[in-house]
Structure 1
């Protein structure tokens, strides 16, 4: 049975990934900082007790990530087929900086820790589990002879593109997502060597109706604000069709490449 780990699974896109993958028959390791208060995840586990494993994980803690990896190794046959890093913040205040006067060293550190550093440390501790996986998470493959590598997804954002930046602002969020993209590219090279390869991609989910984006909904063009269900459906369509030729890419929800 395929096993997927969702980091940042208690709400938003992470929670929706968990729901959708469970409905596919995939075992979901749902990681979040405070399982006791993750009501929606607890309800999902009650509905699918054999498919949902809720694990405490603070993505800013090396020790917590390492402990979660040990748990997955011992509880899920030592392998992962899909890992999705979903946790993200605009900034500790919940709003992106619009000018230099709003930038602070502490806020930059916290935003980078959640949006970039944590995902890289996740890869460090879970890479061996991914190398033992096959990347099949319930989708129907037409080519049954094709080898399927496990998949590492880092949830990025279009605003992390240096080339596409025409507005400025949002210093910590933009910079942290750009750093995440570089980490993803680096990982695609290191985890692309040898026989046990892992596909590594950065994905842009579109503008999604979540707590993170809610302060900016008035600026979103009509028809461009996605529900969580829409976004995850689009993203899983991209993930389902990945092959090793896609590793290292920065892709939007529609599968189109975004310039770094």
Structure 2
């Protein structure tokens, strides 16, 4: 049976590139691509037209639980399983720029950022983990020991600024808080979803600073060799995903494979 990968937040940037990369490099794979407004996602529609029967586009706003529940029911009835879930949707701040001081903080903005970046992926896990349990191990590395083999893989896209141990500059309250919360979500999920058999691998991945709309306001401060294309970042991240086993569950890794401190 073909492997099934769901990319949440697939209309542009990293999410769209994950779809393209998986379709180009994996044989017998089906991609489920979700975004808030499929009708306003021309690149995703084009990709779907290029791969008829292989790409399924679903409407999912991660701040709306009903959208997530409906999408999970569709994937269940259509495919019956899920091998890979990548949560890509993220916002820096409703204004598009991170807070530089307490004067910039508002409760509404913090809650909006947390809702998209941390709560959304948690609710995705709540509805899609039963399908990941039924995954056939189409992604990652399977050890010989059957007790250590995994079914599906759940990936949350984090950021280095979400590391408490690595925070030496401060600022960006909403974004830092949301990614720190997301890291805790990943750790919690790895414990609960690693208890049974088969087990689900849960990791946080940091893509580096990628040339996307989210990071655009800060490109001038990034050295050229540290501003990655989406293609390069996804290639690095997929190399990590393809090497994952249950031994890596509950950890956070940067694009270069180095482990990040919490």
Give the TM-score range, shorter chain: over 0.9
Written as runs of structure 1 = structure 2, the 5 A alignment for 1:145-184 is 147-184=149-186
Q: Quote the Cα distance in structure 2 between the aligned partners of 1:157 and 1:27.
A: 28
2:228 to 226, 229, 235: 226
2:76 to 67, 73, 76: 73
Deviations 1:221-244 (A, max 9, x none): 231110000000000000000000
The CA deviation at 1:22 is: 1.3
2:67 to 46, 64, 68: 64
Deviations 1:195-224 (A, max 9, x none): 121000000000000000011011112311
Q: How many residues in Structure 1 have an aligned counterpart in Structure 2?
A: 257
Query: What does residue 21 of structure 2 align with?
Result: 20
Query: What does residue 103 of structure 2 align with?
Result: 101
The CA deviation at 1:188 is: 0.1
Q: RMSD between aligned alpha carbons?
A: 1.4
Q: Quote the Cα distance in structure 2 between the aligned partners of 1:209 and 1:63.
A: 32
Is 2:52 the counterpart of 1:49? yes
Q: Quote the Cα distance in structure 1 between the aligned partners of 2:33 and 2:81.
A: 15
Cα pair 2:209 2:226 within 8 Å, conserved: yes
Distance 1:143 1:164, change over 3 A: closer
Q: Quote the Cα distance in structure 1 between the aligned partners of 2:89 and 2:45.
A: 18
Cα pair 1:2 1:27 within 8 Å, conserved: yes
The CA deviation at 1:194 is: 1.3
Q: Quote the Cα distance in structure 2 between the aligned partners of 1:182 and 1:3.
A: 26
Written as runs of structure 1 = structure 2, the 5 A alignment for 1:220-259 is 220-259=222-261
Query: What does residue 213 of structure 2 align with?
Result: 211
Question: Where has structure 1 moved over 4 Å in runs of 4 or more?
Answer: 141-146
The CA deviation at 1:134 is: 2.6
